[in-house]
Structure 1
Amino acid sequence: MFLGYIHTFRAIAIYFIIAMHCIDVFQWENNKNLERILRISISNGTILFVFIAGYLFQHLSSRFQYKKYLFAKFRNVITPYFFISIPAIIVFTLILKRESVWQGFYDDPVWLQVLNFYLTGLHLAPFWFIPVITIYYLVSPALIQADKSSVFYYLLPILILVSCLVGRGGGQPLISFVHFLSVYSLGMFCSRYKMYLNDWLSKGFVIIIVFIFVILLWLCEYFFAKTTYTYFNFLQKIVLCFFVLGVLVRYGEKATHHYLNLVADTSFGIFFIHSYVLTAGKMLAHKFFGYLPSGTFQWYFLTTLITMLVCLGIVYAIKIILGPKSRMFVGS
Structure 2
Amino acid sequence: MYLHSITMLRAIAILLIVGSHCHRISNIMPSNFIHRLLINITAGGTVIFVFLSGFLYHHIFYLKGRTNIFLKKRAIRLLIPYLILSIIPIAYKIYSQPNFWSSYIHHEKTGILNEYIYPIFLFLIGGDHLVAYWYISFAMLLFLCFPLHNMFIKANYKGQILILAITLSISLIVQRPPPLSLLSIQSLIYFTPVYLFGIYCSIYKESMYSFFRAKEYLFLFPFLIILLLQTYLGIEGNAEKNFFSYEGIDSILPQKIFLCLFLIVWLRRFEGFDNKYVMLLANTSFAIYFLHGYILRLLYIIKEHLEIEEFSQPLLIFFASLVLIILTSILIATAIKKVFKDNSSYITGY
TM-score (structure 1 length as normaliser): 0.92
Does 2:195 correspond to 1:176? no
Aligned to 2:87: 86
Instruction: After superposing the two structures, state which structure 1 stretch, 78-87 or 245-254, moved more.
Output: 245-254
Consecutive unaligned residues of structure 2, counting only runs of 5 or more, are 108-113, 240-249
Residues 168-317 of structure 1: pairs in structure 2 closer than 5 A: 168-170=176-178, 171-201=182-212, 203-204=213-214, 206-230=215-239, 231-254=250-273, 257-291=275-309, 293=311, 296-317=314-335
The AA in structure 1 aligned to 2:305 is K
Q: Is the 8 A contact 1:286 1:292 kept in 2?
A: no
Q: CA deviation digits over 1:162-188, x for unaligned, max 9?
A: 111012123410000000011001000
Rounded to whole Å, the distance in 2 between the matches of 1:75 and 1:88 is 20
Q: Is the 8 A contact 2:37 2:228 kept in 1?
A: no
Going from structure 1 to structure 2, the CA distance change for 1:109 and 1:183 (only over 3 Å counts) comes to same
Instruction: After superposing the two structures, state which structure 1 stretch, 139-148 or 151-160, moved more.
Output: 151-160
Task: Please report how far the alpha carbon of residue 36 of structure 1 lies from its aligned counterpart in structure 2 after TM superposition.
Answer: 1.4
- % identical equivalent positions: 24
Rounded to whole Å, the distance in 2 between the matches of 1:279 and 1:199 is 45
Rounded to whole Å, the distance in 2 between the matches of 1:51 and 1:194 is 13
Aligned to 1:33: 33
| 108, 113, 116: which one aligns with 2:119 | 113
Aligned to 1:140: 146
Going from structure 1 to structure 2, the CA distance change for 1:106 and 1:22 (only over 3 Å counts) comes to farther
CA RMSD of aligned residues (A): 2.1
Please state whether the residue corresponding to 1:103 is helix, strand or coil.
Answer: coil
Q: CA deviation digits over 1:129-167, x for unaligned, max 9?
A: 111110121111121122111223332122211111012
Task: Please report how far the alpha carbon of residue 244 of structure 1 lies from its aligned counterpart in structure 2 after TM superposition.
Answer: 0.8
Q: Is the 8 A contact 2:30 2:39 kept in 1?
A: no
Q: Is the 8 A contact 2:226 2:251 kept in 1?
A: yes
Consecutive unaligned residues of structure 1, counting only runs of 5 or more, are none
Aligned to 2:341: 323
Q: Is the 8 A contact 2:51 2:198 kept in 1?
A: yes
Instruction: After superposing the two structures, state which structure 1 stretch, 219-228 or 304-313, moved more.
Output: 219-228
Rounded to whole Å, the distance in 1 between the matches of 2:200 and 2:173 is 22
Q: CA deviation digits over 1:36-67, x for unaligned, max 9?
A: 12111110100000000000011121344555
Going from structure 1 to structure 2, the CA distance change for 1:106 and 1:63 (only over 3 Å counts) comes to farther
Going from structure 1 to structure 2, the CA distance change for 1:30 and 1:319 (only over 3 Å counts) comes to same
Please state whether the residue corresponding to 2:90 is helix, strand or coil.
Answer: helix
Please state whether the residue corresponding to 1:289 is helix, strand or coil.
Answer: coil
Going from structure 1 to structure 2, the CA distance change for 1:158 and 1:276 (only over 3 Å counts) comes to same
Instruction: After superposing the two structures, state which structure 1 stretch, 275-284 or 70-79, moved more.
Output: 70-79
